[in-house]
Amino acid sequence: MHHDLERILIDRDEIALRVHELGEQIARDLLGELEREGSPPDASGRIVLVPIMVGSVIFLADLMRQLPMKLSLGLVAVTSYPGQSTTSKGAQLRSELPADLSGKHVLIIDDILDSGRTLAMIRSLILEQNPASCRICVLLDKQTERAEEVPVDYAGFSIPDAFVVGYGLDYDGHYRNLPDIGVLRVEEA
C-alpha cells in the first residue's frame, strides 16, 4: 500500500503525539464545562461524541481513549467523495442523526476539514437540538478555499491542498488501514 503513496506527510508517531495533546486539551475543556454547570466529573450522560463515519473511525478510537470521563457515542454517516472522486461532491447524510442531544455537551469529530460542507451541515443539524455546548475537532485542516465557514475548536495538523489517505482516510474505500497519512500518487495517463 505504501507504494501507492507519493510521500508520507505525517507518520504514526507524529499522529500519536498530537492525538495525545488534543485529548488533554479536550478533556480539560469538557471537564471545565461539567464544573461550570455543577456536575461531578464522573457525571453520566453529559458528554456525547459525534464522530462522522467512516473517515474518523481510527482517529475516534485513538482520541476517545485519551478522554478519561464518562461519555457516549452517537455515530453519524456522511459521504462526500463517492467512488473514485478526489473532489467533494457535496455532503450527503447516510444515517440518522443521534437524537436527544438537547442539553448535552457535544464534540463532533471528523478526519479532515476540506470544503467545510460536511461539518457545516452536521453542526447546524446538531444545533437544532439545542445542546449545552457543541465543539468541533478535526485531525487535519486542509489549506484550501472553504465553501462553508466552520468554527473548528481543535485541529491536529494543518496540511497542504492535496488528496491524502491513511489513518482512516480513503480513496475509493481503500487505504483506511495505513497507519501513516500520505499523499496519494497520481497515476500518469
55 binds Mg ion (CB under 5 A): yes
- The residue (of 34 and 184) whose beta carbon lies closer to ligand IMP is 184
Give the one entry of ligand IMP, Mg ion, none that residue 117 binds, where binding means its C-beta sits below a cut-off of 5 to 8 angstroms depending on kind.
ligand IMP
Q: How far is the CB of 2 from Mg ion (least distance, A)?
A: 22
Closest distance between Mg ion and the C-beta of residue 91, in Å? 8
The residue count of the chain comes to 189
Q: Provide the minimum distance between the beta carbon of 28 and Mg ion in the complex, in angstroms, as a whole number.
A: 26
Q: For residues 66, 81, 91 and 118, what is the CA-based torsion angle, rounded to 10 degrees?
A: 30
Query: Residues interacting with ligand IMP, by CB under 6 A?
Result: 52, 55, 80-81, 88, 91, 110-118, 163-165, 169
Contacts of 40 (CB under 8 A, 6+ apart): 34
When the beta carbons of 55 and 116 are compared against Mg ion, the nearer one is 55
Of residues 13, 42, 111, 114, which has the active-site annotation? Answer: 114
The smaller minimum CB distance to ligand IMP, of residues 29 and 170, is found at 170
Q: In this structure, what C-alpha cell is assigned to residue 131? A: 445542546
Give φ, ψ of 99 to 5 degrees.
-95, 175
Cell output for 52 = 462522522
Q: Please, is 132 exposed, middle or buried when counting C-beta atoms within 10 Å of its C-beta (0-12, 13-18, 19+)?
A: middle
Active site residues: 114
